[in-house]
Amino acid sequence: MKLRNCFLGLGLALLVVSLASAQENYVNHGVAGVRGLNGHAVLPPAAPIFTNCGTGCTSYDTASGYYVAGTAAADGPGQTLALGFVAKKAVKFTFALSANTNYTGVKGKIAAYLLNGTATGGPTTQAAKLVQNGTIPDYPTTKAVKYTAEKAFTFKKGKTYFLCETEPGSTVVMLWMLSNSDVTDPFWFQDSNSCTSKSVTWLNATGSTAPAAQIN
């Protein structure tokens, strides 16, 4: 199911002041500064393992979302979603981001997991249980919600995993917003309201626009 609605003058120098004791003033092409400070290099953040919504998951469709809903919800009851990705190297999982909103405002949380699986066969077993960080805003506000692991987990190189989201609150309806253009990554769903039940039959929706997420 899918919701379609979310002054520098001549001769002046730019001065840099520091309270550090070990310092050296210098001028570089007329621009004054200081070096030898007690500091360290600020490195860029590690590249995501996967993203279809840009770094920080800030680029996605705010007007369309898939239901992630409880069993007694008025919209999409039991619908559970799983987005697949491949770990290109063995690396420790740090967090996931997914674009979410609370569609009806009924208080609740998303239950999220990392699952094992294959692109063509879908999700299989649980790899790691995740914890939602913070709250999911009420519609029409959307947010890249952060999910972290209960226990440390390391991806295996070349293996396919899935980020799965389901809703344990029976009447709660959340949305997982669509990516802008991802129609190639593995995307599976079912309406059994569980990411981890062994009796679940997953349906392949690959080719449909995938939900927006980032994996780090």
Question: Residue-wise pLDDT tens for the chain (216 aa)?
Answer: 444 333 344 444 554 443 445 577 767 777 877 666 666 556 556 789 999 999 999 999 999 999 999 999 999 999 999 999 999 999 999 999 999 999 999 999 999 999 999 999 999 999 999 999 999 999 999 999 999 999 999 999 999 999 999 999 999 999 999 999 999 999 999 999 999 999 999 999 999 999 999 999
- For residues 83 and 167, the answer to whether their CB atoms sit within 8 Å is no
For residue 137, say if its preceding peptide bond is cis, omega within 30 degrees of 0. no
Query: What are the distances in angstroms from CA 71 to CA 38, 75, 83, 166, 172?
Result: 57, 10, 21, 10, 9
Q: Which position has the token pair 């619908």?
A: 79
| Residues near 215 by beta carbon (within 8 Å), at least 6 away in sequence | 48, 49, 50, 51, 85, 93, 96, 161, 163
C-alpha 52, offset from chain centre: 9
